[in-house]
Amino acid sequence: MIQSDDSSLPRVTVIIDSFLHANAGTENQLAKIVRGLSGSARIEVITLRESPWLQANADALGIKATLMPIDGVRRLRSYRTIYNLIKHLRDTCPQVVHTFFPIANVLGVVAARVANVPAIYSSRRDYGEWMTPRYLAATRLANRFVTAIIANSKRVAELTCTRERLSAARVRVIHNGIDLTPFAELSRSVATAHALAIPDQATVIGLVANYRPMKRHETLVRALPLVLRQHPDAHVLFVGANMTPEDIESRVRALSEHLGVAERVHQVHADGNVTDYLGLIDIGINCSEGEGLSNAIMEYMAAGIPVIAADSGGNPDLVTHERNGLLFALDDHEALADAINALISAPELRRSLARKARQFVAEEFSIPSMLNRFAVEYGIPIR
């Protein structure tokens, strides 16, 4: 797919701190948005840090990729970049600017306002627990210039209104979208299971998430000894990579050794091929604190995997307790173990929850539905 050169199409400019790959949650969704809207608008994605993946895949996404590096507000060259960004927006005259991630949600918004962009949107996709007082103050200042803030779950929208002192009318909710096609006919790969030393008859409890503190991998490790008392064939599979300077992956491994369950805990990096491992999982887990809207939960549901999720963040937007999944109190490993034991003991309940979950995401979280909502917000007719 090559970027459209139809000058009659509206211009949409996305400004994002970085776009290192399409595997992480926000980048994955943004790739779907720009690819899906590229036939209806001329889309440029401006990154504020080096983003080789985006540069290499711009043509496939149907967009123009531009780098305008900002190293920090204390560096003189960063102010030169901000000036160039404003000039670039004035020269290209986008009808819409949409910003993602902390730096862009401040500097990108202000630059768009100075450049007189008609419609300016910023994004909120998590709890914002990382916000420092200084960043929160800067964000509130930038919020004066936005047309609206787009959140990916009701809970994130509520927290944004409270923390940033915004009226509900200025925050919109557009849920993530998912393509169900890759998840339609997953099967258990014996070769993949053997490569991970997972026995053929094991009940596999999976957690798909890169290693970050908010993902709370340790909760599942602590639950495992309680599960093994009732179901000695249980194994845990973590799918993800370490994404912070702190080596949480090794910390999870050390905890499993301390609890004597290391032989039942398996860790693998998906490298973009998560469907290779979803076919192994019998029960999908999300332990996260403050997640906006979990792509992993949506993928479990699309794959027909029953879900147990922490009652936190945007998870209740996806999981209705005992209807299409189960919820447990955040960090309560005993409650998580009880939920896992209940599902292992009730195969019919697992099948029922999985069936209702797949129907739910098909009806409420399709990519066409998501794209239509963005197009309506941007004022773009979809071609």
Query: What is the dihedral angle through the alpha carbons of 20, 24, 29, 31, rounded to the nearest 10 degrees?
Result: 30
In the numeric block, the tokens 């008392």 are attached to 229
Distance CA 218, CA 287 (A): 9
pLDDT at residue number 3: 57
Please tell me whether residue 162 adopts helix, strand or coil conformation: helix
CB atoms within 10 A of CB 135: 15
SS (H, E, C) 337-380: HHHHHHHHHCHHHHHHHHHHHHHHHHHHCEHHHHHHHHHHHHCC
pLDDT at residue number 1: 54
pLDDT at residue number 137: 94
- 51-84 burial, b if ≥16 CB within 10 A, otherwise e? bebbeebbeebbbebbbbebeeeeeeebeebbee
Q: What is the pTM of this model?
A: 0.75
Domains of the chain: 11-177+366-378 (3.40.50.2000), 181-364 (3.40.50.2000)
Distance CA 284, CA 266 (A): 14
C-beta contacts of 345-348 below 8 A and 24+ residues apart: 345/230, 345/231
Tell me whether residue 275 is exposed, middle or buried, using C-beta atoms within 10 angstroms of its C-beta: 0 to 12, 13 to 18, 19 or more: middle
Write the DSSP assignment of 206-244 as a string of letters: EEE--B-GGG-HHHHHHHHHHHHHH-TTEEEEEE--B-S
| C-alpha 211: how far from chain center | 13
DSSP state, 135?
A: H
Instruction: Dihedral sign for Cα 303, 306, 309, 311, please.
Output: positive
Encode the chain (383 residues) as per-residue pLDDT tens digits.
555 567 789 999 999 999 988 777 789 899 999 999 999 999 999 999 999 999 999 999 999 999 999 876 666 677 888 999 999 999 999 999 999 999 999 999 999 999 999 999 999 988 777 788 999 999 999 999 999 999 988 888 998 999 999 999 999 999 888 888 888 888 888 999 999 999 999 999 999 999 999 999 999 999 999 999 999 999 999 999 888 888 999 999 999 999 999 999 999 987 767 888 999 999 999 999 878 888 899 999 999 999 999 999 889 989 999 999 999 999 999 999 999 999 999 999 999 999 999 999 998 888 998 999 999 999 998 87
DSSP state, 168?
A: G
CB atoms within 10 A of CB 285: 31
Q: Alpha helix locations (H) across 41-200?
A: 52-61, 76-92, 102-103, 109-114, 133-143, 154-164, 190-195
End-to-end CA distance of the chain: 15
